[in-house]
Amino acid sequence: MSADHSHDHHHEHGPDCGHNHDVVYNKVVKANHKVASVLLRNAKTIELTFDERQEVPHDVKATDGSTLICHLHDTVEVGDKLVSNTNEWAIVAAAQEELFEVARGQKGFEEFLHVAGLSFWPVQLNDTGARVVASHECMHMLEHFELKFSTLTAPMLEIVVPELKHHDCCDHDHGHSHDHEHSHAHEHKHGPDCGHDH
């Protein structure tokens, strides 16, 4: 019996699922680990959107047009390397995606960041305001707060989830580290003063 079936279905893969698993990318080497350049000489590059970096798809197109099979349970960050069972390497890059850019200083900006933080929307704060991965919910919320925003296509590099305690009250940088694991299972800790309604 031949196992040729199309790829637009999502199913769990086991060792006997019928796909060719000769080369499976199943290990992540974090971006801050030094890797000998000789190992990366033939590395492929894969461009993933923010969501794809939270849950790497089973079939990933590399920039050279080839498809890589990935079995990864971890989230990945830009700059991470994936290693296959045959010791082939791939480097994670950020794909261009649609973002909303919202200028700070508008009435409702703080409240919007608060909602974005509670909803786990990927937000990137910068000098001019915030960039958010575009979605319908997000657009409705921006309109609800009557915020002006523009749409652009850019990679969503690092995510700064707005802190709920101190908003933009101070201008200095709080040097926060970037090795934060944020899974999409929304397991955030609740304290008595986290601002949620318990």
Identify the domain containing residue 101 by its residue range: 96-155
Q: Is residue 17 part of a domain?
A: no
Q: What is the pLDDT along the chain (198 residues), one digit of tens a residue?
A: 545 444 444 555 555 555 556 899 999 999 999 999 999 999 999 999 999 999 999 999 999 999 999 999 899 999 999 999 999 999 999 999 999 999 999 999 999 999 998 988 889 998 899 999 999 999 999 999 999 999 999 999 877 665 544 444 444 444 444 444 444 444 445 555 555 555
> Is 175 inside a domain boundary?
no
Rounded-to-integer distance, Cα 28 and Cα 92, Å? 10
Return the CATH number at 116.
Answer: 3.30.70.790
Give the H/E segment covering residue 109.
helix 109-119
In a domain, 75, yes or no: yes
155, 173, 191 - which closes a domain: 155
* Single residue among 94, 113, 146 that ends a domain in this structure: 94
Position 107 in a domain: yes
Q: How much is the pTM?
A: 0.68
Cβ atoms within 10 Å, residue 60: 21
Q: Could you tell me if 32 and 81 lie in one domain?
A: yes
84 and 141 belong to one structural domain? no
106 and 129 share one domain: yes
Shared domain for 116 and 131, answered yes or no, is yes
Same domain membership, residue 69 and residue 120: no
Q: Residue 67's domain is classified under what CATH number?
A: 2.60.260.20
Is there a domain that residue 86 lies in?
A: yes
- Residue 166 located in a structural domain: no
90 in a structural domain: yes
Number of domains the chain contains: 2
Torsion angle in degrees (nearest 10) through CA of 128, 130, 134, 136: -110
CB 132 within 8 A of CB 121: yes
Tell whether 64 is covered by a domain.
Answer: yes
